[in-house]
Amino acid sequence: MKALIRIFRIVHGLMAALFACSAIMLITIATRMGWLAFIGGLDRSAAQEIIEAIGLLAAAVVALQIAETIVEEEVIRDADISAPTRVRRFLSRFFVVLVVALAIEGLVATFKAIHEDPAQLPYAASILVAVGILLAAWGLFIRFNRYAEELEPEAMADAKREDRKLK
């Protein structure tokens, strides 16, 4: 069983490395897009390119955060994700980044639609509505999960002990 767990840790480490590499590639592409927009002239099309670069950077943040979460939760801590405290903490880390990235993407899509194709505005608005729904669902999850945590106070103590591995 220990060999299988070691294999899972290695696979998680490889996945984290791939997410980090993807983030670096997105950052590189966004940097190039921003630079080309800057040297091409500071006009409306340059603004659109920079806004699209911001969208790529938001995706890079998500990829980096996922890589960090995988490393911390699955490789360093080797945490048991079944405890309510651990589930809340894991999902909260992910949802913070996801909601922020989707909100940025929604704004990018809105700016792009306004300037290029106003018929695309309902699609951009649907992204922003989805962000609102995700925020509300996340809030409900945290509220309901808090009650489960109160039933298992030892899970919070375990999570705090696991946090010491990161210091």
pLDDT tens track for 100-153: 888 988 998 998 898 888 999 999 999 999 999 999 998 898 888 777 667 666
* Residue 16 reports pLDDT greater than 70: yes
In this predicted structure, what is the pLDDT of residue 135?
Answer: 92
In this predicted structure, what is the pLDDT of residue 84?
Answer: 67
Q: What mean pLDDT is predicted for residues 57-85? A: 80
- 10 or 86: whose pLDDT is higher? 10
Region of 84 on the Ramachandran plot (φ > 0 left; ψ -120 to 50 alpha; else beta): alpha
In this predicted structure, what is the pLDDT of residue 48?
Answer: 85
Percent of the chain topping pLDDT 70: 84
Q: Using the 8-state DSSP alphabet, how is residue 78 labeled?
A: -
* Residue 94 reports pLDDT greater than 90: no
Domain that holds residue 100: 2-166
In this predicted structure, what is the pLDDT of residue 143?
Answer: 85
Percent of the chain topping pLDDT 90: 38
Please report how many Cα atoms fall inside a 13 Å half-sphere around the Cα of residue 12, on the Cβ side: 19
* pLDDT confidence tier of residue 60, bands split at 50, 70 and 90: very high
- Per-residue buried b or exposed e for 8-39, using 16+ beta carbons within 10 Å of the residue's own CB: eeeebeebbeebbebbeebbebbeebbeebee
Rounded Cα distance between 25 and 71, Å, is 19
* pLDDT confidence tier of residue 79, bands split at 50, 70 and 90: low
Q: What mean pLDDT is predicted for residues 31-39? A: 94
Q: What mean pLDDT is predicted for residues 71-94? A: 73
The answer to whether the CB of 144 falls within 8 A of the CB of 87 is no
Number of domains in the chain: 1
Task: Please state, rounded to an integer, the average pLDDT across all residues of the chain.
Answer: 85
